[in-house]
Every structure is written in C-alpha cells, then in structure tokens.
Amino acid sequence: MDIKILFEDNQLMVIDKPAGVTVNRADTVGEKTVQDWAERRILNTEYRIPNKIGLSSPSNHSEFSIQYSVFLQRSGIVHRLDKETSGCLLIAKTEAAFTELQRQFKHREIKKEYLALVHGQVEPQQGTIRVPLSRSRLDRQKFTVVPGGRPAETCYEVVQVFKGLALPRQGQALSSYNFTLLHLFPKTGRTHQIRVHLKYFGHPIVADEKYGGKRAAADRARCPRLFLHAAKISFTHPTNKTQVMVESSLPEDLKQTLSKLSAGTA
C-alpha cells in the first residue's frame, strides 16, 4: 500500500490517507487497511501477536496496561476518516503519544479543517450547523439528526460558488448547476458528522452515495468519489508541547472536478 507521510518524528506521524482505503480492520473488511499498514510501519514484531489476538484486558497479560492494549489494538491510529474521505490522519507511534493525543481529541483541542463540494449555493457565507446526531433506527449504517442525540457542531466558510450549464447526455436537455466549495471546521467528531450536517442543511456533499440521495449517481459523472478532503490538522505535540500544523493538498481527482466546473464542462 502506497501511503504518503506528511509529517513524522519518533512520537507520531500524519499520513495522507488515500480515498478508497478503509482505516480500521473489521470482520466485514476484506481488503488491506490503513491499520495493516500502520501495524507493519510502527509496531515491533514482538507486539504484533497480542495485537492480532485482540488483547483487551491486562488480566491475562499483566505486562500490558489497559491503555497500552488499546494502543496496540488500534495500531496507534488516534482517529478515523471515512473510506472515501482523503487527507490528514494522525497516528501515534508510542503509548504516551497515543494517550495524550486521545486526551486532546476528547477535550476538543485538536483542530481539523476539511474541504467539501456541496450541492446548491450556500448562504450565508459563513455559519455554524449545530444539531444533535444519533444512529438511524431504520439503517444502522447511517446516522441522522435526532432530538436528544449526541451534540454535534460544524462551522463552515464559503470558498467559491460554481454556476454553469451541465453538458447534456444523450436524450437529455441542457441543465444548469450550482455548487459551493466549503471550508469546514468540525468542533465535535461524531461519525459521518459533516456529511449528515450538510444533508440536513440542504446541501449534501457531491457524490455522497450514503447521504446524497438520487443525485449521487449523477454526480459520479463529474466527480469519481465523495468530495470530502481532510485538508489540515493542528495539535499540540505530545512531548515537546509545540504547535504542529500539517496540511494535505487537494488530490488530483478532486482538482479535476473543480477544473471542469470552472471551465463549464461538468
């Protein structure tokens, strides 16, 4: 698996996760994951065996702390990105770094910035989406806005609005389009938070097959995958306490989508 490392020292690394690669191993995931890559890249051979047998308690493995077993089980991966989302992913290389970075996430000290292309013209130019989320009772693979759900907050800023005429397919009439490129700043880290918030806001992400409805299939003609990219992550280094900011450039497939919209050839 070819994964670009954006930042690395003896405590942690930030990788540029490719789109289409799952972060965590699971029984339902058949392909290689970021976790497989991280395990080979970070963990010493002596620690791979307990990681693979699912060490979860120090009761039978007194040499390991509970926190260290979690570090091993996750192969140092501190947070996650959806399979189709690309960009910055933070991975700890030591138990101490893992514990401290988890603490920073819990206390919302780590700042993340995303880029997303959404349907429609977003107004106002900046704002905050603040609605609670919970797992859908109808589809356990999805999340939805539910009164009394877990608090979730996403701030946004408009970067650019794209307006034009879509090239007609055979047998179809010429149609217009409106899209908005957004900077997004999630203040909480709920599963699918950005995707669900933008759908609720009336501006689903382009090519989002899970939350975009019927238009997601048509979106794939102009954008090959979910247009969501983790562009930046900022945190306090767990040992030297300096501020670290790492950026990931917009991948070529998403750049091409924006170029088509700008040129009016989408």
**Would you call 208 a catalytic residue per the annotation?**
no
Q: What angle do CA 231, 78, 199 make, to 5 degrees?
A: 50
Query: Torsion angle, CA of 195/201/204/209, rounded to 10 degrees?
Result: 60
Mean pLDDT over 140-154 rounds to 95
Q: Is the pLDDT of residue 87 over 60?
A: yes
pLDDT at 69: 81
Segment holding 38, helix H or strand E: helix 34-42
- CB-count exposure of residue 61 (10 Å: 0-12, 13-18, 19+): middle
pLDDT at 265: 63
Question: Which of 2, 27, 36, 82 is the catalytic position?
Answer: 82
Three-class DSSP category at 139: coil
Question: Which tens digits make up the pLDDT trace of 20-52?
Answer: 999 998 877 888 999 999 998 886 543 443 433
Total H helices, total E strands in the chain: 7, 11
What are the residue ranges of helices labelled H in the chain? 34-42, 45-52, 66-73, 95-106, 193-200, 215-219, 252-263
Q: Is the pLDDT of residue 244 over 60?
A: yes
The model's confidence at residue 169, banded by pLDDT at 50, 70 and 90, is: low
As a whole number, the mean pLDDT across the chain is 88
Domains and CATH numbers, the chain: 4-263 (3.30.2350.10)
Question: Which tens digits make up the pLDDT trace of 43-84?
Answer: 654 344 343 334 344 444 444 455 678 898 899 999 999 999
The model's confidence at residue 214, banded by pLDDT at 50, 70 and 90, is: confident
The model's confidence at residue 191, banded by pLDDT at 50, 70 and 90, is: very high
Q: Which amino acid does the sequence have at 179?
A: F
For residues 232 and 185, give the distance between their C-alpha atoms in angstroms, rounded to a whole number.
10
pLDDT at 168: 62
pLDDT at 59: 41
Q: Is the pLDDT of residue 226 over 90?
A: yes
What's the predicted TM-score (pTM) here?
Answer: 0.88
Pick from 223, 204, 116: which is nearest to 166 by CA? 223
pLDDT at 70: 87
Question: Which tens digits make up the pLDDT trace of 93-129?
Answer: 999 999 999 999 999 999 999 999 999 999 999 999 9
